[in-house]
Amino acid sequence: MRKAFGAFLAIALVAVSVSLGSWKRPQGRYDLSLLLIACALVTFAFWAFSSLKQSAWTLYALYVWSGLVGTLTGLQFWLVLGEVYTVTQAKRIYKLVGAGSVLGAVAGAGRGDKPFTKAGKKWFSFRSFSKAYFNVRGVAMNAVDHPHGGGSHQHVGKPSTVGFDAPPGRKVGRMSPQPKRIREKRRRR
């Protein structure tokens, strides 16, 4: 949490110091395009350096750099619009820009609501986020699939506690703790 706070603070300080600099107002017609090209080159340099040598500080620097690029390109975009359009033109144009931003936010939020058509797609999706897929209860399985499975209705049918010395296929349910005498015996070795 402290590192994220430091990264946010670094983004804010660098963005404020750069925005107060001499290049605050766009001078030429292609200032925004040149800024985007320069940012793409620096991002490519980050990628090339991180592929050669991976370290934690390159990831933090890339995080700060991406936040800085987003801040500065937004600043330059609005400065260019302020220079190009008059107030009466801006009242018409800014409505379209605002509507586009709202539409993008709605479309981006709805992207996660797309239904999965097959179970395999959902499994791959969960796997890509390093999440566990759905856990099926043992009592809902057949007897060949789980020690708690089978029967005419869903119940375990025997004590669900398992001894510490049970074989790996039987270790399901509530595990009993290892006896103290065996723990101490293993510590002495």
Instruction: Specify if 180 maps to a domain.
Output: yes
- Residues 19 and 95 reside in one and the same domain: yes
Instruction: Specify if 122 maps to a domain.
Output: no
Instruction: Specify if 118 maps to a domain.
Output: no
- Residues 93 and 168 reside in one and the same domain: no
Q: Encode burial over 81-108: b for 16+ CB neighbours within 10 A, e otherwise.
A: beeeeeeeeeeeeeeeeeeeeeeeeeee
Instruction: Specify if 168 maps to a domain.
Output: yes
Instruction: Specify if 117 maps to a domain.
Output: no
176 within 8 A of 161, measured Cβ to Cβ? yes
Q: What is the pLDDT of residue 142?
A: 92
41 within 8 A of 53, measured Cβ to Cβ? no
74 closest CA partner among 32, 109, 42: 32
Length of the chain equals 189
Domain count, the chain: 2
- Residues 156 and 70 reside in one and the same domain: no
The whole domain housing 179 covers 137-189
DSSP 176: P
CA distance to 2, 27, 34, 91, per residue, from 80 (Å)? 36, 9, 13, 15
Which CATH number do you get for residue 169?
Answer: 4.10.950.10
- Residues 7 and 69 reside in one and the same domain: yes
- Residues 32 and 100 reside in one and the same domain: yes
Read off the tokens for 55. 């370290």
Q: Would you tell me how many other CB atoms lie within 10 Å of the CB of residue 10?
A: 17
CA distance 176 to 65: 51
- Residues 93 and 141 reside in one and the same domain: no
- Residues 16 and 73 reside in one and the same domain: yes
pTM above 0.75, yes or no: no
- Residues 101 and 141 reside in one and the same domain: no
Q: What is the pLDDT of residue 141?
A: 92
For the chain (length 189 residues), average pLDDT per consecutive 10? Answer: 71 74 60 80 83 75 81 77 78 80 80 77 77 81 89 87 84 81 75
Instruction: Specify if 72 maps to a domain.
Output: yes
